[in-house]
Amino acid sequence: MVLKQLKQFDNPMHVSSESLLEFVTVLFGRAGLSQEDAAGAAEVLVEADLAGADSHGVCYSLPSRVHGLAGGKLNPSPDIRIVHETPSTALVDGDNALGLTASRRAMDIAIAKAHEVGTGTVALRNSNHCGMIAYYPMMALSHDMIGLAMSTTPGASILPTFAKDPIMGTNPIGFAVPADKEAPVILDIATSVVATGKIAIARALGIDVPEGWQVGEDGNPITDVTATKGSRGLPLGGTRELGSHKGYGLALMVDVLCGVLSGNGAGFLLPLPRSCSQYFQAIRIDAFRPADEFKQDMDVALRHLRELPPAEGHERVYYAGLQEGEMRAKRLKDGIPLPPHTVGALKDLASEFEVDFPREL
Amino acid sequence: MVLKQLKQFDNPMHVSSESLLEFVTVLFGRAGLSQEDAAGAAEVLVEADLAGADSHGVCYSLPSRVHGLAGGKLNPSPDIRIVHETPSTALVDGDNALGLTASRRAMDIAIAKAHEVGTGTVALRNSNHCGMIAYYPMMALSHDMIGLAMSTTPGASILPTFAKDPIMGTNPIGFAVPADKEAPVILDIATSVVATGKIAIARALGIDVPEGWQVGEDGNPITDVTATKGSRGLPLGGTRELGSHKGYGLALMVDVLCGVLSGNGAGFLLPLPRSCSQYFQAIRIDAFRPADEFKQDMDVALRHLRELPPAEGHERVYYAGLQEGEMRAKRLKDGIPLPPHTVGALKDLASEFEVDFPREL
C-alpha cells in the first residue's frame, strides 16, 4: 500500500528528538528569531516528525523557512497584535511572521479566552504556512480543552467540483480532544483527497500514486509519479457521486473562517504563492461538564474503537490520533529517522548557519 | 446521473409552501405541540423541502415524528433547560423533545450568547433526530452571524476504516455564512459517502445506486438497490487510500462534540435506535470585522466560484448553498412537489388527525 511505502526508506539517519529540537532552535535563532520564538517554532516542526507527519517535519519544511527568515521574505521580529476583540474572540494580525510563530501566539490567545469565558475563537491574518495543523489544537489538551484549527494554503492545486482549473488550496482542518489513559483524538486532514506533501514525498521516493490522487488537464487520472508535477488534485470524496462537493465545501468553510473572517481574503482569490490565514478555537470542557468525567467517557469510547474487530485483511482498527500517538512513543525512544535524500540539504543548512548537526543515535 | 434521478419523479402533486407549512403546523399541534413549537418544527421540515433536501422534508420525515409525539415516544411538552453555562457556552437538556424543537431552542441560546460575548456554543443532550442539519446554522444568517451545527444519528450504518461491522452514524455537519447579494453559503453534509436518506429514496424509486455508496458483509460493493437494505455505508473518502479515515475522523469529531461533550454518550456506544445529541455554534461576524465589509467580500468570493469555467461535460460550477438557494426560489414560486408514492401516507395522517390536506396548486 502506497501510504506505508511513503513512510519507508533505506538507510535512515536516526537522531534523538531532543538533539533535533536543539538543532532547529539554534538554527531559527541564527535566522533571526528570538530565543522564545525559535524554541516554539522548532517544537512545531519536531512534533510533526514525532507524529510521523514527515512532510511537515524538519526535513521537508525547515530549509525554506530558515531561508525565508534570513532572506527577509518572512518577518523575524514581528509585532503580532490583537486588532479587535470581544470576550470570546480576537482578530489577530501576524505581521508576516513565520506561520508557526503567529499561529502559536493566536492559539495561546484562544486558550486564554476559553479560560475566561468558556471558549476562545481567533482569526489570524497576515500569516504564513503554519506547518502541521494538528499542533495548535494539541496545545489545548493540557488545559483540558478541545482544540480546533484550520488554515489556508499557499498553492492552487485542488479542483472545485465540476471546475476546469484548480484554484483551491488543500485547506487542512485539525482537531484534538483529550482522553484520560487513551491516546488523545488528533485529527489532521487536508480537505482534499490527499495533501500536497504526500505527493511531494512520492516524487522524492519515485513511487507511483494511486488512481484518484491526481488528474491531468483532460480530467483523467494520473498515477505515474513523474507526471504529477503541475497536475491537479481532487476534493475529499473525489467525484460528485462519491461526495467531492463535501470536500470542496469543507475547503470553502476553511477559506471563509480563515480568509474572509480575518480579512486576509479567501485563499482562492489571492495571487500565488498565497499568504496564509488561520482560524483557531479552544473549548473548555468544564464549561459543559466535569473534565475528569469527560475524559473517562473518552477512554471508554476510544477503547471501543480500537478494540473493534477488523475486516478481513486488516490487523486492527484505529481512531484519529492513535497511530500518531504510537509513532510518537516509538520515535521518542528510537529517535527520528531522517531520510538520506534530505540529510544533505539539512547539513548544508547547518554549515551555512554554522550550527552543529545532530549526531546519529 | 443517479443524484439527478433521485430528485425526479412522475406526476408530482404541487402544493404551496405556505399551505404545507400551515398543514404541518396544525398537525404538530394536534399531536400535542404548543402552537409556537408546532410552527417552529413545521418550518424546519418545510425549509428542507424548499432547499430540495427531500429526504428531510415533510414527505419522508413527518409521519414518524407525528406518531412519535402522539404515541408518547417523544415528549410534546418538554422542559428544555440550561443545565450549566458560561458566558459563551451552554449545556442544554432537551427532555426527550422532538429534535426539531430542542435544536431550535439550543441554537437560539447560541445566538443570544454570540450577541453578548462574540460567540455562542451549545451542546444538547436528551434530544432526537433534528432533521436537516443546515436549518440551524441558517438561523444565524439574519443576525449577521456564521452558524455551525452537528448531530449524531439514530442508526449504525457506517463502517469505521478497516472495521468489520458498521457502528458509526452518518453524523452530519451543517455550516452557513451570510453574503450580501449572493446566495449564502449553506453546507449540509453527512460525514459518510452518502446520507442514509438518499438510499431510502433510491429504494422507494427503484433506482440502482453507484458503486461506493454501499458494501455487503464481504466488503464488496452493492449497486442493486433491492440488496441495499441492511448493508453498510462508507465514511466520506470511501477507501483508506482515498481518505476514508478523514470521513471517519469527522464522524468521530461529531460524536465527541455532540455526544461526549453533552454527556449524552458517543453515538456509536448507544443502543439502537439511538437517542441523538447535537452541537451548535454561532459566530458574530462583527466580533472580527464589520459585517457589511465581510458580506461584500463574500459576494466577490462566491461570484468568483459560480463564474469559474466548467470542466468539459459540465454546465457550471456551484458552491455549497447555490443550488439550494436556486431551488428555494423556484419552489417558493412553483410550489413543493410531493412524490405520488408519499402523498398517500400524508393523506392518511391528515384524516387520522382530522386536518385538511393542502390543495394542489
Alpha helical stretches, state H, A80-119: 99-117
DSSP conformational letter for B266 = -
Q: Compare all CA atoms of chain A with the CA of B250 and give the residue at the minimum distance.
A: A187
> According to the model, what pLDDT value does residue A1 have?
67
Strands B119-127 and B89-93: parallel
Chain-chain contact of A84 with B288 (C-beta, under 8 angstroms): yes
Output the average pLDDT for chain B: 95
> According to the model, what pLDDT value does residue B74 have?
98
Joined together, the cell numbers standing for residue B37 give 413549537
Q: Which fold has domain B1-77+335-361?
A: Hypothetical Oxidoreductase Yiak; Chain: A, domain 1 (1.10.1530)
> According to the model, what pLDDT value does residue A6 have?
77
- Is A1 touching B (CB cutoff 8 A)? yes
Joined together, the cell numbers standing for residue B177 give 455564512
CATH code of domain A79-193+237-288+301-327 = 3.30.1370.60
Q: Cβ-count burial of A136 within 10 angstroms (0-12 exposed, 13-18 middle, 19+ buried)?
A: buried
Q: Where in chain A is the domain with CATH 3.30.1370.60?
A: 79-193+237-288+301-327
> According to the model, what pLDDT value does residue B22 have?
98
B71 to chain A, minimum CA–CA distance in Å? 32
Identity of the residue in B189, B219, B249 whose CB atom sits nearest the CB atom of A187: B249
Q: At how many degrees (to 10) do helices B58-70 and B340-352 cross?
A: 30
204-243 in chain B: CB under 8 A from chain A: 210, 212-213, 219, 236-238, 240-243
- Is B187 touching A (CB cutoff 8 A)? yes
Chain-chain contact of A241 with B210 (C-beta, under 8 angstroms): yes
Chain-chain contact of A87 with B88 (C-beta, under 8 angstroms): yes
Does residue A165 contact residue A135 with C-beta atoms inside 8 Å?
no
> What is chain B's Cα-based Rg?
20
DSSP A118-178: SEEEEEEEEE---S-TTHHHHHHHTTTEEEEEEE--S---BPPTTBSS--B----EEEEE-
Does residue B331 contact residue B46 with C-beta atoms inside 8 Å?
no
Q: Where in chain B is the domain with CATH 1.10.1530.10?
A: 1-77+335-361
Q: What is the pLDDT of residues B88-128, one digit of tens each?
A: 999 999 999 999 999 999 999 999 999 999 999 999 999 99
pLDDT at A229 over 90: no
Cβ-Cβ contacts under 8 Å, A3 against chain B: 240-241
> According to the model, what pLDDT value does residue A303 have?
98
Model confidence at B56, pLDDT cuts 50, 70, 90, reads very high
- Read off the pLDDT of each residue in A147-151 and give the average, rounded to a whole number: 98
Higher-confidence residue: A6 or A169? A169
Q: Compare all CA atoms of chain A with the CA of B216 and give the residue at the minimum distance.
A: A311
Q: Compare all CA atoms of chain B with the CA of A321 and give the residue at the minimum distance.
A: B249
Domain A195-232 coded CATH 3.30.60.50: yes
> According to the model, what pLDDT value does residue B10 have?
79
pLDDT at B342 over 90: no
- Is B283 touching A (CB cutoff 8 A)? yes
Give residue B153's identity as a one-letter amino acid code.
T
Q: Where in chain B is the domain with CATH 3.30.1370.60?
A: 79-193+233-332
- Is A305 touching B (CB cutoff 8 A)? yes
Chain-chain contact of B146 with A256 (C-beta, under 8 angstroms): yes
Name the least confident of B1-15, B21-35, B243-257: B1-15
Q: Which fold has domain A11-77+335-361?
A: Hypothetical Oxidoreductase Yiak; Chain: A, domain 1 (1.10.1530)
Q: Which CATH number fits domain B79-193+233-332: 3.30.420.40, 3.40.50.300, 2.80.10.50, 3.30.1370.60?
A: 3.30.1370.60
Chain-chain contact of B287 with A88 (C-beta, under 8 angstroms): yes
- Is B61 touching A (CB cutoff 8 A)? no
Distance CA B141, CA B155 (A): 30
